[in-house]
């Protein structure tokens, strides 16, 4: 008797960790369902179902039926390895690109450093990791460091104290 192949849904469920990290993104409630199977180079889970399919697309179709033509399945939680249907939505490719750009745009919309100095051309430099840095804050911290170094030099030399007597160890 030939062994009954396990249904795809059962194989799929065996590769999902439902106790994933809780998403902090609004609109993606509860924990991510982390795909523990294979992933592609971009970090999306992959699943064999007669052919290789993306795990999150499979999860979406299990929950909602087939993906309408021409739509992308987007991760609301921005976690590409997540297959929680509540974190997935079918959107147009254009909307998908905008959603990603939005993430970048939100950061660009920040126009002042945490201390409130404006990120304008004169006051902004770009750190090696690509983030914007505030010159006013850098200058202030360099000034503080120099002042601290000066104070250090001016401080009287404190004679080394004689080493603290070590308590004698009594043999047990």
Structure tokens at 26: 């609004």
Report the alpha-carbon distance of residue 64 to residue 86 in Å, rounded.
Answer: 10
Q: Which is nearer to Zn ion, 140 or 150 (CB)?
A: 140
Least distance between Zn ion and beta carbon 172 (Å): 58
For the chain, helix (H) and strand (E) counts, in that order, are 4, 8
Q: Which is nearer to Zn ion, 17 or 105 (CB)?
A: 17
- Out of 44, 58, 79, 90, name the contact with Zn ion by CB under 5 A: 79
* φ/ψ (deg, to 5) at 105: -65, -40
- Out of 15, 39, 80, 117, name the contact with Zn ion by CB under 5 A: 117
Contacting range for Zn ion; rule: CB under 5 A; set: 10-18, 74-82, 91-99, 162-170: 74-82
CA distances for 70 relative to 12, 17, 91, 113, 170, angstroms: 24, 29, 9, 41, 81
Q: Answer yes or no whether residue 136 interacts with Zn ion by CB under 5 A.
A: yes
Structure tokens at 158: 């404190």
Binding footprint of Zn ion on the chain (CB under 5 A): 23, 32, 77, 79, 82, 84, 87, 113, 115, 117, 134, 136-137
């Amino acid at each position: 008797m030939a062994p009954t192949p396990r249904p795809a849904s059962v194989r799929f469920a065996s590769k999902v960790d439902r106790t994933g990290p809780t998403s902090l993104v609004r609109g993606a409630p509860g924990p991510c369902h982390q795909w523990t199977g294979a992933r592609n180079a971009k970090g999306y889970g992959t699943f064999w179902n007669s052919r290789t399919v993306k795990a999150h697309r499979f999860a979406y179709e299990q929950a909602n039926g087939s993906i309408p033509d021409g739509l992308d399945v987007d991760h609301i939680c921005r976690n590409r390895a997540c297959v929680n249907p509540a974190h997935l939505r079918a959107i147009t490719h254009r909307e998908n690109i905008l959603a990603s750009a939005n993430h970048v745009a939100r950061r660009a919309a920040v126009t002042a450093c945490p201390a409130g100095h404006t990120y304008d051309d004169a006051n902004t430099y770009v750190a090696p990791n690509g983030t914007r840095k505030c010159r006013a804050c850098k200058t202030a911290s360099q000034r503080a460091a120099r002042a601290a170094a000066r104070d250090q030099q001016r401080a009287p030399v404190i004679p080394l104290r004689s080493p603290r007597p070590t308590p004698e160890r009594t043999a047990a």
